[in-house]
Amino acid sequence: MRFRRAFMVLAACLAPPAVVAAQDARQVDIAYEITFGGISGFRIDVTARFNGSKYDVETTTYKEGMLKAVTMNYVGRNRAWGGFTTQGAQPTAGSLSISVDGKPRTWLAQYGAAGFLQEIHTPVWKPTPQQTISDADRKDSLDPLTAALSVGFAGDAACDKTVRSNDGKRRIDVLFRKVGMEPASATGIPGARGDVLVCEIYTKRVSGEFDEAPKEAETERERPIRIWLARFDDTQIRYPGKLEAQTLFATIRGKVLSFRERPLTPEEAANIRR
């Protein structure tokens, strides 16, 4: 379960700043690898498109190597889109599509001026009373990718905050705590610029449907995930550069495989969601 939590945090880590500058029409492509005890486990591909005051970000997460060969197949896709105002990043919607061993689940969250607006589950989710996410817990919560983007968009203020994450079935608080700053040259992150922000991440279950027993979840929260947030371009956005999480059996590590950016074509720029 900690493996899943670690890659969700990495896929997830992409409260907004007071002002986010308008972006040139460009696309950023990032590839990540997550290993368990040195064995390749997950690959995460990120495509982020920016055009003026609009953003549209997609991630795809899938198993590879030995983990794919010996465990159930998994493919996860997330998408988040919205815009920037003088008040910061303003999400329009976020979606996720998860297929585990050929069994798909999709969820769409749409936002309004007051925050969380409505959601659509496919198939329909029918929680028990103990699994229900209350309106109070849903308030101000964000789909996983939008929650992650709120961290990256915060730049140097990414840590020392709590993000209210909601994947439709589980409401989790993700707590970021700043550890310090390290020179990019000392982190081993290829392409990182300037200083790298180091954070510890704890998770706290709030409500919903969970597989783990409460005692196990509490133990995992005592062993934080450590993440290095780096700059790779000329913007204030900080992207995950690497990740480490300790388990009873081995260390989970995440790292950047590649970072590329290019201008958008006129057609791509026109098709960014808002």
Residue 215's φ and ψ, nearest 5 degrees, are: -65, -40
Q: From residue 240, how far is each of 14, 113, 150, 227, 230 by CA, in Å?
A: 7, 29, 13, 7, 6
Which secondary structure element, helix H or strand E, spans residue 16, and what is its range?
none
Q: What pLDDT, on the 0 to 100 scale, is given for residue 69?
A: 80
- Average pLDDT estimate for 250-273: 91
17 has pLDDT over 50? no
Q: What pLDDT, on the 0 to 100 scale, is given for residue 7?
A: 47
| CA dihedral angle for residue 20, residue 24, residue 25, residue 27, rounded to 10 degrees | -80
Q: Contacts for 115-123 with beta carbons within 8 Å, 24 or more apart?
A: 115/139, 115/140, 116/140, 116/141, 116/142, 116/166, 119/168, 121/168
pLDDT digits (tens, 9 = 90+) for 80-90: 999 887 777 78
Nearest one of 238, 219, 221, 218 to 230, comparing CA atoms: 238
Give the lowest-confidence range in 27-36, 108-117, 121-130, 222-231. Answer: 108-117
**pLDDT tier for residue 19 given thresholds of 50, 70 and 90:** very low
255 has pLDDT over 80? yes
What amino acid is encoded at 181 in this protein? M
**pLDDT tier for residue 27 given thresholds of 50, 70 and 90:** very high
18 has pLDDT over 50? no
Residue 235's φ and ψ, nearest 5 degrees, are: -95, 175
Q: What pLDDT, on the 0 to 100 scale, is given for residue 86?
A: 75
Q: Enter the pTM of the model.
A: 0.85
DSSP state of 155: G
pLDDT digits (tens, 9 = 90+) for 184-232: 999 999 999 999 999 999 989 999 998 765 554 544 555 789 999 999 9
- Average pLDDT estimate for 145-154: 88
Give the lowest-confidence range in 25-34, 109-118, 255-264. Answer: 109-118
3-class DSSP state of 152: helix
| CB contact set of 68 (below 8 Å; sequence gap of 6+) | 62
pLDDT digits (tens, 9 = 90+) for 45-66: 999 999 988 999 999 999 988 7
Quick one: three-class SS letters along 178-238?
A: EEEEEEHHHHCCCCCEEEEEEEEEEEEEEEECCCCCHHHHHHHHCCCEEEEEEECCCCCCC
- Average pLDDT estimate for 94-104: 92
Q: In angstroms, rounded to a whole number, what is the distance separating the alpha carbons of residues 22 and 273? A: 16
Output the average pLDDT for the chain. 85
Paired tokens of 4:
């899943």
Q: What pLDDT, on the 0 to 100 scale, is given for residue 180?
A: 95
- Average pLDDT estimate for 115-131: 88
SS3 content of the chain, % helix, strand, coil (to 5): 20, 55, 25
Q: In angstroms, rounded to a whole number, what is the distance separating the alpha carbons of residues 59 and 13? A: 11
Q: How many CA atoms lie within 13 A of 273 on its CB side?
A: 15
